[in-house]
Structure 1
Amino acid sequence: MITLACDGTFEGWLTALFDIYEYRFTDVEFSSEGVSANMFSTTRQVTTDLLKAERVKKGLKQRLSQQGYQQLYHTFFSEIENAEQQMWLFAQYVFASKINVEGDQRNPVVWNILKAAQMVRRESHRMKAFVRFQLTKDQIYYAVVEPDCDVLTLIAKHFSDRYADQRWLIYDDKRKYGIYYDLNSVSVVEMTFNELSGGVEIWDDKELFFQQLWQRYFGSVNIKARKNMKLHLQHMPKRYWRHLTEKKTGL
């Protein structure tokens, strides 16, 4: 068995697929740490090659619909167990078939990709709705999130389009990195810090005032007689409340 260790990028995984077919590997597994549970496995470190990755991407797009390719791509960010292995099994099925296979939901591999993609799409949608920016003294709008899936890069365009005239930073506290928009482009930044999680000294002087206004507005439209907590939790699960301004009032 060959254990393929990639660099944690989608392009790295695509490069690994190229190597599988180039060297005709027949028994492979993926491991981001390069560690295999099989003592007889040989580890191969995959060096990401953008040209190889593009060739594999082109091959997949020729055999899949745009939606089918997006489902495979989104699975990479799902963080489900053995995601890269599941993606490889799906790609293997795609390349081996003469017809489009993405509709074959009876196949467990296809079904696993579909479920993972749905999970990522749902989490991306929630993040677009649940991000709450706060203004710092440096005039950067800052937000903290802890999504179930690694979706920051997937939602970057949404926020750069919507807040094109503002500098902002969305930080994933679970994965310790963020996406930063500088009025021109979005870049990925890696950070490990705690100072922006609580200290009011870093916020703009008007920030707390606007937070209080938002909390009061939320309280005024929250009609207790019509409160449906079950439905509320369905649309806004409690695990997101920690970073929601309106929930800091306990409403």
Structure 2
Amino acid sequence: MSKFPSLRRPAAVGPAAARPVGAPALTAAPRDYTYDGTFEGLLTVLFTVYDWRAAPNSIQPEATAQTGLFAQPAHRATDETQATRVWDGLLRAMTAEARARLYHVFLSEDAEREMLIFRYVDLALRTAADISENYTDATVRRVQRLAQQMFREKHRMEAFVRFEKTSDGLFHANIEPDYDVLPLIAPHFTKRYADQRWLIYDRRRRYGLYYDLTRTDIVQFEETGAPARATDVAATVLDEREPLFQVLWQAYFDHVNIPERRNLKLHRRHMPLRYWKYLSEKQPRAQPFQPIQNKRPPQPGPPLLGAE
């Protein structure tokens, strides 16, 4: 897991710790930067921008870079030392929360995320005051909006992940979030399910999180042969009790449901339709739902006090 999303912040020095304004003027000819697509690679590009004093015309992952006919892309190999200097140095220009938003913007996979992050950083470096709530600025508004969207997606993934148990005791779950939220949900599942091995796999981005009872690692592997449904794990590797667990969960969901209070519009707002294919309670029932017949019929007895 990357070390850069850490929210550690050095203690303020002096009253209110005034923010220095120290960004050099970008006087050299603008460049078209490319990098390896990692967050550390993007931080290396930011270091290069101010080291070369050359503003970016564009910043693009090398694998998908599209440049003009006469452009000369400047590829920057990831440098961990430079990336760390930039990540730590950002705390002199913004709060830890604002810095974390930049990482969330990167994970949002927005088409303009690299230039958006550069503009936000450059604005923070050239402004003595905290810019994180300066919503009159379009860049700040866009960063805040993307960060909010990431927070909602993270919250939904933490609520909607459904595991299936395999025969070797591994709990497996598939997800397809709108944004790349796996790095954000890793701490939640590592803490909540610390006593069992689990794998959460993002089918859209083809990588996952694997917890082996000691640590959580990023894993990546090739898919060989699609199962019958996107939600299926091969039946031969599932625990023999897994179908029973799913039936029990579906029965619980059906029994706590109150048909008279059904509000499908509100339900879809809190549980969007795109998540349903990975939710056990939204799959076709193996057996029809039958309400529990546990209500006693009215019993004859003496009239109530005050009754005529």
Q: 1:199 Cα shift?
A: 2.6
Query: Which residue type is aligned with residue 59 of structure 2?
Result: F
Match of 2:200 in 1: 170
User: Whole-Å Cα distance in 1 between the matches of residues 148 and 36 of structure 2?
Assistant: 25
Match of 1:20 in 2: 49
User: Whole-Å Cα distance in 2 between the matches of residues 238 and 191 of structure 1?
Assistant: 28
Match of 2:264 in 1: 229
Matches within 5 A, 1:176-215: 176-193=206-223, 194-195=226-227, 197-215=232-250
User: Whole-Å Cα distance in 2 between the matches of residues 219 and 135 of structure 1?
Assistant: 22
Deviations 1:1-59 (A, max 9, x none): 42221222111111110011111112431111362342232112211111111111122
Match of 1:29 in 2: 58
Q: Conserved in 2, the CA contact under 8 Å of 1:177 and 1:188? A: yes
Q: 1:198 Cα shift?
A: 4.3
Match of 1:129 in 2: 159
Task: List gaps (5 residues or longer) in structure 2.
Answer: 1-29, 290-308
Q: Conserved in 2, the CA contact under 8 Å of 1:5 and 1:34? A: no
Q: Percent identity?
A: 39
Q: 1:63 Cα shift?
A: 1.4
Indicate which of 268, 280, 283 corresponds to 1:245.
280
Match of 1:141 in 2: 171
Match of 2:255 in 1: 220
Choose 1 or 2 for highest CA Rg.
2
The TM-score normalised by the length of structure 1 is 0.95
User: Whole-Å Cα distance in 1 between the matches of residues 207 and 284 of structure 2?
Assistant: 28
Deviations 1:56-79 (A, max 9, x none): 112211211121111111111011
Q: Which has the higher helix share?
A: 1
User: Whole-Å Cα distance in 2 between the matches of residues 54 and 90 of structure 1?
Assistant: 18
SS of the aligned residue for 2:283 comes to helix
Deviations 1:153-198 (A, max 9, x none): 1100100100001000000011111110000111111123235834
Note closer, same or farther for the CA distance 1:7–1:27 as it changes in structure 2 (3 Å cut): closer
Moved more, 15-24 or 33-42: 33-42
Q: Conserved in 1, the CA contact under 8 Å of 2:33 and 2:56? A: no
Match of 1:116 in 2: 146
Q: 1:97 Cα shift?
A: 1.4
Ranges of 4+ aligned residues in structure 1 off by more than 6 Å: none
Indicate which of 150, 161, 182 corresponds to 2:180.
150
Query: Which residue type is aligned with residue 38 of structure 2?
Result: T
User: Whole-Å Cα distance in 1 between the matches of residues 184 and 220 of structure 2?
Assistant: 17
Aligned length: 251
User: Whole-Å Cα distance in 2 between the matches of residues 84 and 207 of structure 1?
Assistant: 44
Note closer, same or farther for the CA distance 1:27–1:142 as it changes in structure 2 (3 Å cut): closer
User: Whole-Å Cα distance in 2 between the matches of residues 208 and 214 of structure 1?
Assistant: 10
Moved more, 124-133 or 84-93: 84-93
Task: List gaps (5 residues or longer) in structure 1.
Answer: none
Query: Which residue type is aligned with residue 2 of structure 1?
Result: R
Moved more, 186-195 or 44-53: 186-195
User: Whole-Å Cα distance in 2 between the matches of residues 200 and 11 of structure 1?
Assistant: 40
Q: Conserved in 2, the CA contact under 8 Å of 1:3 and 1:34? A: no
Q: 1:82 Cα shift?
A: 1.2
RMSD: 1.5
SS of the aligned residue for 1:246 comes to helix
1:72 aligns with 2:102: yes
SS of the aligned residue for 1:26 comes to strand
Q: Conserved in 2, the CA contact under 8 Å of 1:3 and 1:35? A: no
